[in-house]
């Protein structure tokens, strides 16, 4: 076997990796054992802050292949022709738990994909649910605090979650999804992904369309029962991580069919539902799914920390032809992700290998902690200039977007009761046995809340569907 020399960080060969340098065989360690110091000091700094949400996750490299022409809606180069392939990196995650928490917790699953396109990186940072609990970013830190731990006991608390949800009835649709069997997917391969938010497409004629993305698992939906999920949390807390890694290692590459729903820009003004409200879906009957391509995951990370932990996804990473929308939550996210990544990974996080785009990056950004590339070399770092420096591409300006209205803090844009309609639709489309599971899962958790909180929450379930609310109420009473 070829010998590989062990070295210090400055490249000197290490003469002894087993014994510290001491004064005598029993003696204290000498200050001049700089190798010991370096080894301990580096170890002391091995951890970086975990993600404040979605801390536990697993990822894999892959390929996106276009299967259907959507160039009438977007000029994004990634979609320019059928058959075109783009390399990708996807990270799946749970939301509320810490980095070592169980993969099978009842929680939404993150489904984030970085597409290394010929025009820069495009990140689709979605979940396995088509909607979210809240629709205003001002509420996000409060919501997440209820998913984490009590300030005094450091324990999780059902009472805390239902307290917040009962006072935030826009959460009912997502609660219904979360407590359904889809709240405990059987690993990451057997679940769908959704952009949840509405984004925009811009085509070559500079026309805007609103768009939602749906990634449908080609392995088929498979969920764990609540009991299986609880058991696995003890016997194999890394169940989903292992399932993903092992299947890719064995050459069983999971894939998802990517679809879009498209709404012409003008229709948004008069559509019955606010198309920018992330607590609501666009019914398929109004906006059918249009196939776009296939995402296949086909290569495991070689180094988890480098590729998965240091991956920095953000809805703000967009490319020409794919834009934003006025969705308030999306707008809040645009700030939050790069902000947390500057803190979690450092200001030069975009230059890390996993985040670096496949295109040349030219700008005047310089220096900062851990600037490990050539820092722009000797090129000028300002613009405009008489010299050759990177300049803007005005042909890429998006069409103007009309906004109006009085600056204020708005809770609803329409009828307050509209929050319950789609939760009810979801309940009604479930089979009888799925409805029973949903109710059992809710009761198991809601029974740990105070009777005051229960009463308010039951009134929301009843507004979604009288039968839904009454069954929960009956079972909760039976539990007393
Ligand atoms: P449709 O009947 O056209 O669509 C229902 C959709 O619900 C299906 O296409 C499927 O979406 C999803 N679904 C099917 N079975 C389940 C299940 N057991 N648990 C959770 N979701 C399931 O009606 P609408 O488009 O009007 O939607 C009705 C309700 O379905 C919505 O209120 C929403 O809660 C839910 N839904 C809607 C989606 C949408 O984008 N319109 C997407 C997902 C759920 P899929 O194949 O994407 O899983
Ligand atoms: C991760 C904030 C809503 C999906 C994160 C992170 C933050 C954050 C700070 C950690 C990022 C990192 O450390 O790299 C917010 C805020 C939200 C919001 C402020 C609302 C205002 C959402 C919604 C979705 C979502 C609606 C899904 C549609 C994700 C995913 C990750 C993530 C998938 C993990 C990305 C990864 O794998 O690295 N979020 N989030 N978030 N969020 Fe959100």
Sign of CA dihedral 426, 429, 433, 435: positive
Whole-angstrom distance, CA of residue 266 vs CA of residue 257 = 28
Residue of 50, 51, 52, 53 best suited for mutating to test ligand 2, as the one with most atoms within 8 Å of CB = 53
Residue of 183, 217, 284 best suited for mutating to test ligand 1, as the one with most atoms within 8 Å of CB = 284
Domain holding 92, by residue range, is 34-163+184-358
Residues 245 and 345 in one domain: yes
Chain centroid, CA 259 distance in Å:
18
Residues 39 and 138 in one domain: yes
Whole-angstrom distance, CA of residue 133 vs CA of residue 112 = 18
216 sits in which H/E element = strand 208-217
Residues contacting ligand 2 via CB (< 6 Å): 51-54, 57, 91, 93, 110, 112, 125-127, 132, 137, 140, 196-197, 278, 311-313, 329, 332-333, 336-337, 340-341, 344
Sign of CA dihedral 161, 162, 166, 170: positive
**What pLDDT score was predicted for residue 417?**
78
List pLDDT tens digits, range 180-218.
Answer: 999 999 999 999 999 999 999 999 999 999 999 999 999
Q: What angle do CA 83, 87, 92 make, to 5 degrees?
A: 120
Check if 127 is active-site. yes
How many domains does the chain contain in total? 2
Closest Cα to residue 138, out of 111, 168, 99? 168
Instruction: Please count the helices (runs of H) and the strands (runs of E) in the chain.
Output: 13, 10
Closest Cα to residue 333, out of 135, 168, 122, 99? 135
List pLDDT tens digits, range 215-254.
Answer: 999 999 999 999 999 999 999 999 999 999 999 999 999 9
Q: Give pTM, 2 decimals.
A: 0.97
463 sits in which H/E element = helix 451-464
Closest Cα to residue 351, out of 379, 337, 370, 327? 370
Among 61, 121, 127, 173, the one annotated catalytic:
127
Residue keyed to tokens 């300002």:
382
Ligand 1 atom at shortest distance from the alpha carbon of 214: 47
Distances (CA, A) of 263 to 93, 199, 200, 288, 329: 30, 10, 9, 10, 19
Going from the Cα of 129 to the center of ligand 1, the distance in angstroms, rounded, reads: 10
Domain endpoint, select from 358, 378, 401: 358
Residues 298 and 158 in one domain: yes
Whether residue 405 is contained in a domain is answered as no
List pLDDT tens digits, range 372-394.
Answer: 999 999 999 999 999 999 999 99
Quick one: average pLDDT of 465-475?
98
306 is written with which tokens? 């480098």
Check if 350 is active-site. no
58 in Cβ contact with 243 (< 8 Å): no
Residues 219 and 319 in one domain: yes
Residues 324 and 422 in one domain: no
Domain with residue 300: its CATH number is 2.40.180.10
**What pLDDT score was predicted for residue 418?**
86
Does the pLDDT value for residue 324 go beyond 90? Answer: yes
């Amino acid at each position: 076997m070829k010998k590989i020399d062990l070295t210090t960080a400055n490249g000197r060969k290490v003469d002894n990796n087993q014994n510290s340098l001491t004064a005598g065989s029993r003696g204290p360690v000498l200050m001049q054992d700089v190798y010991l110091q370096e080894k301990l000091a580096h170890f002391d700094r091995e951890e970086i802050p975990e993600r404040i949400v979605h801390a536990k996750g697993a990822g894999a490299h892959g390929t996106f292949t276009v299967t259907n022409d959507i160039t009438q809606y977007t000029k994004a180069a990634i979609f320019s022709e059928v058959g075109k392939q783009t390399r990708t990196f996807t990270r799946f995650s749970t939301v509320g738990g810490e980095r070592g928490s169980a993969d099978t917790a009842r929680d939404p699953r993150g489904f984030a994909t970085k597409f290394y396109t010929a025009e820069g990186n495009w990140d689709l940072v979605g979940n396995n649910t088509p909607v979210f609990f809240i629709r205003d970013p001002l509420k996000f830190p409060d919501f997440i605090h209820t998913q984490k731990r009590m300030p005094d006991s450091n324990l999780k608390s059902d009472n805390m979650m239902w307290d917040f949800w009962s006072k935030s009835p826009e959460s009912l649709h997502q609660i219904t999804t979360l407590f359904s069997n889809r709240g405990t997917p059987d690993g990451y391969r057997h679940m769908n992904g959704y952009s949840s938010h509405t984004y925009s497409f811009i085509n070559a004629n500079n026309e805007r369309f609103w768009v939602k993305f749906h990634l449908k698992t080609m392995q088929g939906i498979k969920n764990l029962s609540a009991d299986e999920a609880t058991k696995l949390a003890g016997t194999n807390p890394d169940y989903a991580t292992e399932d993903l890694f092992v299947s890719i290692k064995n050459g069983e590459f999971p894939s998802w069919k990517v679809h879009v729903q498209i709404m012409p820009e003008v229709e948004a003004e008069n559509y019955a539902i606010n198309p920018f409200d992330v607590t609501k879906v666009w019914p398929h009957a109004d906006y059918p799914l249009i196939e776009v391509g296939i995402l296949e995951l086909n290569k495991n990370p070689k180094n988890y920390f480098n590729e998965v932990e240091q991956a920095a996804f953000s809805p703000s990473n967009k490319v020409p032809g794919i834009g934003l929308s006025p969705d308030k939550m999306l707008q809040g996210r645009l700030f939050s992700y790069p902000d947390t990544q500057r803190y979690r990974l450092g200001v030069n996080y975009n230059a890390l290998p996993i985040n670096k785009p496949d295109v040349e990056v030219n700008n005047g950004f310089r220096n900062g902690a851990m600037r490990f590339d050539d820092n722009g070399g000797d090129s000028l770092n300002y613009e405009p200039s008489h010299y050759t420096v990177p300049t803007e591409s005005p042909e890429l300006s998006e069409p103007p977007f009309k906004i109006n209205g009085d600056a204020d803090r708005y809770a609803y844009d329409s009828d307050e009761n509209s929050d319950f309609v789609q939760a009810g639709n979801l309940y009604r489309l479930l089979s009888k046995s799925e409805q029973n599971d949903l109710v059992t899962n809710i009761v198991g958790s809601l029974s740990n809340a105070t009777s005051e909180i229960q009463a308010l929450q039951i009134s929301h379930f009843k507004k979604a569907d009288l039968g839904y609310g009454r069954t929960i109420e009956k079972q909760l009473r039976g539990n007393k």
